[in-house]
Amino acid sequence: MTNEAQQNREATLNPDGSVIKADEIRKLYGDVPAVDGISFAVEPGETYGLLGPNGAGKTTTMRMLAGLSPANSGAITVSGIDVVKDNRAVREVMGVVTQHDGLDGGLTVFQNLFLHGFLAGLSRKDSKNRAHEVLEFFGLRDRSKANVYELSGGMKRRLAIARSMMTSPSVIVMDEPSTGLDPQSRNRVWEELAVLKDAGVTVLLSTHYMEEATILCDRLSIMDNGKILDEGTPDQMIERHAPKEVAQLRVSPVSIRTVRGYLTEQNITFREVGALISVTGVNGDRPDLSGLNDVEGVRTSYRAGNLEDVFLAITGRELRDG
In the complex with other proteins, the residue whose CB is nearer, 95 or 154, is: 95
In the complex with other proteins, the residue whose CB is nearer, 204 or 310, is: 204
Compute the least distance from the CB of residue 149 to other proteins, in Å. 10
In the complex with other proteins, the residue whose CB is nearer, 86 or 239, is: 86
Q: Give the CA distances from residue 101 to residues 1, 51, 170, 199, 235, in Å, rounded to whole numbers and listed in that order.
A: 23, 20, 20, 23, 31
Q: How far apart are CA 277 and CA 56, in angstroms?
A: 26
For residue 131, what is the enclosing H or E element? helix 124-137
Compute the least distance from the CB of residue 102 to other proteins, in Å. 4
Compute the least distance from the CB of residue 41 to other proteins, in Å. 22
In the complex with other proteins, the residue whose CB is nearer, 23 or 92, is: 92
In the complex with other proteins, the residue whose CB is nearer, 69 or 225, is: 69
Compute the least distance from the CB of residue 84 to other proteins, in Å. 13
Compute the least distance from the CB of residue 130 to other proteins, in Å. 14
Q: How far apart are CA 112 and CA 104, in angstroms?
A: 6
From start to end of the chain, where are the E strands? Answer: 20-29, 32-42, 47-51, 73-78, 81-82, 94-97, 171-175, 202-207, 219-224, 227-232, 245-251, 270-273, 276-280, 298-304
The residue ranges that bind other proteins (CB under 8 A) are 29, 63, 66, 68-70, 86, 88-89, 91-92, 94-96, 98, 100-108, 111, 115-116, 118-121, 163-164
